[in-house]
Amino acid sequence: MRSLPLPLALTARLSPVAVLACAGWALTSGPAAPPAAGHQSAPHTPAGPSAAADPAPAAAANAYTTAPAPCSSVPAATLKSLVPGAGTAGKEIPSTDTSLRRTCSWNALDGYDYRWLDVSFEIGGSAQEARREYDQRVAERGGGGAVPGLGDSAYSVVGLTTEDGQQTREGVVLVRAANALVVVTYSGSDFETRRAPSTDEINKGAIKAAKSAVAALDGGRD
C-alpha cells in the first residue's frame, strides 16, 4: 500500500510535545473545539477540602516523589488497540528533570489511519500545589466534563481541527492524584476519508490510557 505524506498539522505535533518536556506543566493539546453531542460540559468542583481545612496535608503532599517511566506505563495490548502499528517501546521526550516530569509518545500510520498518544507525568511539591494547577488547567479548557472514579479529580475534553480539508480529532485527559498530575493526549485522522475518528472513540481511548497511567503512579510512591 502506498505511503502518504502527513499533513502539516500532524507533523507539527512534535513541537508541542517538546515544549511540554521543557515547560513542565504545559499541556500538549491544541485548542479545544465545542463538545460533540452527548459530550456535555460539567462544572468542575475541586476534590477534597481546601488546603486550610486539610487535616493531613503533609501526608498528601508526599504521596509521590518521582515520576514513573512513562514508556512502560501503558500495557502493550492497550497500545496496540489505541495506536495500531506503533512500537510498544515508545519514545521518551527529553526533560530538564526526569524525577519530576516525564513524557512518552507513540504514533503510527496503519494503512490510512493515523494515531498519536502522549502520556505525561508531573510531580508537584504538594497536593495543594497540584490541585491549584489542575484547577487552573480545567478552567482554561472549556467544553469537557468530569471523569468519575479516576484519581482524586479527572477531566476530559475532545476537540476537532481541520486543515486543508483533513480532520484531526484530539482528546485530552487531565488527572490529579495527590501531588501528581497525569496528562494524556490522544489524536487520530483518516487519510482516505479525510475525516477524523468519532468523539466517543477518541474520548474512550484517552480515558483508557489515563487509567493505565494512573495505575503506574504506584511505582513513584514514597
Per-residue pLDDT of the chain (222 residues; tens, 9 = 90+): 444 455 544 544 544 433 333 333 433 333 333 333 333 434 444 444 334 444 444 444 458 999 999 999 999 999 999 999 999 999 999 999 998 999 999 999 999 999 999 999 999 999 999 999 999 999 998 899 999 999 999 999 999 999 999 999 999 999 999 999 999 999 999 999 999 999 999 999 999 999 999 999 876 565
Where do we find the cell 526533560?
Answer: 95
What are 172's strand-pairing partners? 157, 185
Q: What distance in Å separates the CA atoms of residue 69 and residue 92, rounded to the nearest whole number?
A: 9
Residue 55, number of CB atoms within 10 A of its CB: 7
What pLDDT, on a 0 to 100 scale, did the predictor assign at position 6?
A: 53
Q: What distance in Å separates the CA atoms of residue 118 and residue 222, rounded to the nearest whole number?
A: 25
Where do we find the cell 479545544?
Answer: 32
Q: Provide the grid cell at 183.
A: 496528562
CA of 159: how far to CAs of 122, 141, 162, 176, in Å?
23, 10, 10, 21
Chain-centre distance for alpha carbon 202: 11
